[in-house]
Structure 1
C-alpha cells in the first residue's frame, strides 16, 4: 500500500485507519505500507522501518521506535522531540550525564562510549514538566527559561521555552479537565524539569 489514505480528510483518515487494520487482521495477510505520516504509521503498524536515503535506520514496534530511537534522525522524524547537544560528562554502566548548554543533564541509563564523547540527548515534550513555581524535591534536570510561544490544542497546551543558553525547547502539558486554566503566559520565567529516565542518549 503506497500512501493509501493520503487523499482523505483528517477525520475520515483516522476512521479508515482502524477499519483497514481490522480488515488486514481478519484476512490474515502481511501488508507493507509506505507512508510519510508518522501518526498513521504509529496507529496502523505492528513493526515500523524508518528509512532515509535508501537505508533502513531502525526497525521496531511503534513503542520501541518512539521511546528508544537509535539515532538523531529517527528521534526527530517520529513525533516531536527536544535534542540537547553536548558531551558525555559521566560514564557509568547504569547511568550517565551529558554536559549541555543549559547545564548537566542526568540520565538513568548507561551508554557505550567514553568521557567527552559528543552525544545528543532526546527528550519528548510530553515528558517535561513546567511551572512558574520551583518544584519541591527536584534536584536534578531542573532548569529555567522564558516562555516565548503558547499554543492551545484542546487536549493539551504547547509551550516554546527559551532556555538560559538561548536555545528553544517544546513542552506539552495535558488538559485533564474542563477547568484546566494554566497561569503561564508569554514572557513568564518558568521552571522546567524531567526525570532521569525520560531522556535517551544518542551517539549518531
Structure 2
C-alpha cells in the first residue's frame, strides 16, 4: 500500500518486541484512519497475533509481527502495513495510535503485553481533544479489545437503523463475528492466567521438599 504521509488522518501501530534472545526491536506501521483505523478493529488484529501459537512458541519479534500485518493487506479487516518512520506521539496527523510492548510468554503461555492507546483529532484546532489510556497485561488487553468491539458494533447498529445501508449492515455482522471470536479467547486467557497464578501461590505455600540430611549432615541422595 502506497501511503502519502502528507494527506489524511493516520492510524499507527508502534511495537516494541523483546525476543527470546533478549534483544529489543522497535518498528511502526501506518494506514489511513478511515474506515478501519480505530481501536476496535486494530486491537482485534493484534489479538490475532498474540493468540497465534507460533507467537508463543517462537517468541514475539518484529519480523513475525510485520508478516502478520502484511498478510492482512487484503483481509476483511486490513491493518497498518506501510513503514512509519516518524514519531507518532508528536505527529498531529495520527488520530489513532496503538503503542504495544510484547515480551516472551509467561507461565500462562501467553505473551506478556503492555499497551498504550492514544486517540486525538488529526487536525488540532482551538478545541482539539485527545485521550490516552493503558492496559497492563494480556488478559486486560483482550478484555479491552472485546469491550471496544462491542461498542463499535453498537455504534454501527445505531447508524444502520438511522441510515440503512448494505455496507453498514455488513460491518455490523463482521463486528459480531469478531466478538464471537474474542469471547472464548479472552475467557481462555483469563482461565490460564488464574491457573498460573494459583500454581505460583501453591509453590510458595508448599515448596518442593528438600532431601532430608543424613546424620553426618550430608543430603541422603548423595549416599549410595
Give the TM interval when normalised to the shorter protein: under 0.3
TM-score normalized by the length of structure 2: 0.19
Report the structure number with the largest CA radius of gyration.
2
**Between Structure 1 and Structure 2, which shows a larger proportion of helix residues?**
2
**Between Structure 1 and Structure 2, which shows a larger proportion of strand residues?**
1
